[in-house]
Structure 1
Amino acid sequence: MLVLKELDDVAPDLSDVSNLIFTSANGVRFFMQAMGGMTAQLAGLTAWGVGPATNAAIQEAGFGLHVEGDGNAEDLAAMILKSDPDSGGFLHVANSAAAGDLVRRLREGGRMARFQALYETVPAAHLAAKAQQAIQAPDDCIVLIHSAKGAAAFLSAVDKISLETSILIAISEAAAAPLSDAGAKRLLHAERPNEDALMAALDKARQEL
Structure 2
Amino acid sequence: MGKTILNTRPETDSGDLDTILKQRGYDVCHAPMLSIDFPPLPADQPTINLDGVQAIIFTSANGVRAFTRHSLHRGLPILAVGDATAKTARAAGFATVYSANGDIHDLAGLITRQISPDDGVLYHPAARKVAGDLGTMLAAKGYVINRHTLYEAHAATSLPQPVLDGLHGETIRAVLFFSPRTAETFVKLMERHNTKGALTNVTAFCLSPAVKDRLASLAWHKIVVSAEPTQESLLLELDNAII
Residue 126 in structure 1 maps to residue 167 in structure 2 = no
One-letter code aligned to 1:129:
Q
Structure 1 counterpart of 2:88? 57
Q: Do 1:139 and 1:165's aligned partners in 2 also have CA atoms closer than 8 Å? A: no
Q: Do 2:131 and 2:180's aligned partners in 1 also have CA atoms closer than 8 Å? A: no
Structure 1 counterpart of 2:75? 44
Q: Secondary structure at the match of 2:66?
A: helix
Give the Cα–Cα distance (whole angstroms) in 1 for the partners of residues 211 and 149 of structure 2: 21
Q: Aligned-pair distance for 1:114?
A: 1.5
Give the Cα–Cα distance (whole angstroms) in 2 for the partners of residues 12 and 163 of structure 1: 45
Q: Identity percentage over the alignment?
A: 28
Residue 15 in structure 1 maps to residue 65 in structure 2 = no
Q: Do 1:142 and 1:168's aligned partners in 2 also have CA atoms closer than 8 Å? A: yes
Q: Single out whichever of 77-86 and 6-15 deviates more from structure 2.
A: 6-15
Give the Cα–Cα distance (whole angstroms) in 2 for the partners of residues 100 and 191 of structure 1: 20
Structure 2 counterpart of 1:117? 149
Equivalent in 170, 173, 187 of residue 206 of structure 2: 170
Give the Cα–Cα distance (whole angstroms) in 2 for the partners of residues 97 and 200 of structure 1: 29
Given the superposition, is the C-alpha separation of residues 128 and 24 from structure 1 closer, same or farther in structure 2, using an over 3 Å criterion?
Answer: same
Structure 1 counterpart of 2:125? 93
Any stretches of 5+ residues in structure 2 without a counterpart? 1-32
Q: Secondary structure at the match of 2:200?
A: coil
Q: Do 1:99 and 1:115's aligned partners in 2 also have CA atoms closer than 8 Å? A: no
Structure 2 counterpart of 1:204? 240
Give the Cα–Cα distance (whole angstroms) in 2 for the partners of residues 100 and 16 of structure 1: 24
Any stretches of 5+ residues in structure 1 without a counterpart? none
Give the Cα–Cα distance (whole angstroms) in 2 for the partners of residues 196 and 53 of structure 1: 10
| 1:132-153 deviation per Cα after TM superposition (whole angstroms, max 9, x unaligned) | 1111113452111121111111
Q: Do 1:170 and 1:190's aligned partners in 2 also have CA atoms closer than 8 Å? A: yes
Q: Secondary structure at the match of 2:89?
A: helix
One-letter code aligned to 2:63:
G
Q: Secondary structure at the match of 2:114?
A: coil
Structure 2 counterpart of 1:104? 136
Residue 138 in structure 1 maps to residue 174 in structure 2 = no
Q: Single out whichever of 61-70 and 132-141 deviates more from structure 2.
A: 132-141
TM-score (norm 1): 0.87
Equivalent in 90, 102, 107 of residue 71 of structure 1: 102
One-letter code aligned to 1:101:
D
Q: Aligned-pair distance for 1:110?
A: 1.1
| 1:96-136 deviation per Cα after TM superposition (whole angstroms, max 9, x unaligned) | 22276212233321123211121122211210122111111
| 1:61-98 deviation per Cα after TM superposition (whole angstroms, max 9, x unaligned) | 11112222222111211221233424322011221222
Q: Secondary structure at the match of 1:122?
A: strand
Aligned-residue CA RMSD in angstroms?
A: 1.9
